[in-house]
Chain A
């Protein structure tokens, strides 16, 4: 499924990419407020949301439009709507009000943004991306701005400036790397979230976000997979797994009375290499059945990810509600969540707050691993456990038969996905799991991992095909670090715990470091697992020969 659009060419050599990047703003004297109106570039933005997506969600101003057009077909009172929306949000989000007021423009965030590093466009410095909105805030909401205008850094909201704001709000992947370095904790992701809520008041979403949202609302998952198709796809995996391992797994769907509900991003059901991770889950659950795991998948809550996070808090809540609603309906005790990035930002920082009422009267309780008896005290309110927490606990208690040598053909590094890193702090669990299932593990340089990890370039709904240049530019710092690990340690596989990573990083690697492939952690886990009743394995889930076990014909 090559997704690079035909009419756009990447530079031949990745190195050429930087030849047009000055990394310093062009003008020596001119300040940013005097720069000409934004030029909307092909390859640097995503297609506009189609009207039926917005209609499905009951969102304003559904129509056909394109960011390349002069006329964006805005409602007549767009300015009033935007400013009213801003006022409303300033009063509802302390983050927004505070982050509009306290930035001192120290510039510590500037070179922390992967989009700035890769594009050299100064308006991609987080401070300046925020100033685009802040200048409008000053003009319309502060006395100094009203009186002094540009001297106070204030700018009237105009059609051109709205376009500029839109362009740069959809060039931010809400990765929060800048907020790690900000001395006041100003979080560009939060400002982007607010900004995108405002653009949604005018019907200015992108289709790569709006479509998954509408699909998820209707079918329960971003891919728009209907229940029967969802079952078929997993049953296809059952056959695949049997072919490789000789073991026939039996996933359950929508089963009432199960102890645990499993929710994972539908991207892993749909596209390689996420599918191998999905097979990994299925094998793991099958093995654990005998040890007492009573788990079910759901076709209704068949999506862990939540593109509502990139739309508005209301839409996020609407999509997220299915997890608790389904947990209650099925009568499960707790929810196990698969490997996904922004899903875990939502689960860890928003879900309980938004939707815990829906679990009232359910059978849900503090999660306990039925196999080890471990209580997941850190999840006692939200009642949702990350699968690497779950698996790490299994490994720690020697519940899995592992033969890490089966992964010996791999030299693995780990990409901390932005959201579990900076919206959760999930660092040790995945590393513990990897180190127990792989013999060769190396870290990337320290400024590019853990809380300082770099985005894959396609987070927050920007993982489309039409914005490939943006993705390749934004992914440059990550690719650069992978290249280093490849050259220094011979790394040929990068593990990650995010479905968007698994969709985005293969393209990035193909472009910059073709020697490195992408995997989810549970693909590695189950490739190393010695299964009950397995046949003599000669290949792994990808059909690649296992080291030392090649078919001798």
Chain B
């Protein structure tokens, strides 16, 4: 006779076994694993929605701080538009400075979000469930911030319409032979795809919010949830469309950062012209992106008190992911470096001499942040599950990866084919203000977004909890997992 758990009650009402030894094991499992620790959805819905509406004094202080920095960013940009790019440190050889490094950096941190969500979804990894949306949100706003930088960088923004495919007196048309255009297409595709992917998974949670909210929020969520009722057909199609989007968006994600790298490597600039740049940039993007997701997880968990959803197991899993990416990144960087080093071509040597010469402090700081610290610490579970440690490591990796982009862009450009064009580059105040301000802008957008949208994909958590249970094997209780398709 088949015994169904559901005859006893709903999945969150699973009683403890009578045996005390086994009961203790089950309780321990519930403490450890979110998927085993099912609670009534009514309670979890209230928890999620309450955090969404909550805006304490610290929230407003943080909002004001980020808002002030964002304002500084827009003022600096305005001054730069009025005065021209001459007030920046950019010069004739280093015409691509931190603005382009920022473009690469922000696309990079945007990378991991959809990748974590889509790839782990297809591989049916349960640890993605509570963090998927927090990650996807970074993608959305990371890409939005990145999209600002070409505009900031071109300087004369009133001539931006030259880039649009509209007829003009010069009979010009966007040039498809240009790597810049490939990149623009890839970013547009990725931004639209990520938005669709996020929105589709958001619909059931918006419907949940609609069911529990009143006033203008109810109207907003009613419109956005499109009349979702949770019928079998709706769920099944949601599942299929998410999988379809996942399959398409993973190659697109690879194409995005490959496109960014081709902006550099299609030029015969020493230090750039390298076939490994595509995969190397993808790995670098994932590396900084996963570190950014961990940072956001820590901040969201701490400020919104989501300790129930984001547990040690999630930080542990993300830490392992980060360790794998550390090793991959080191391998790619080494492969790139040693090929240049062994080739011993004068110009590539000149670029390497630049990195280990005038730029040595930045170069060695980058190696410290990207290699020494993660490789030395992440192998330990205690480090991976310690929030303060992961916060520090995450920030260091952001610093390291940012420096890496600046070194590649400005460092390589300062040594080029024409030795009398060799210059050194120092950022001036507009670059610094704009860079810090954009980071604040990203934080600001993220903060506001968490107050409008459930940042935890609760339905995915419920799905995992409903499909997972425990089963006795000998004297031990093991968790079991069911696929319902």
Chains A and B are bound partners: no
The residues of A with any CB-CB pair to B shorter than 8 Å are none
Q: Give B contacts to A, CB under 8 Å.
A: none
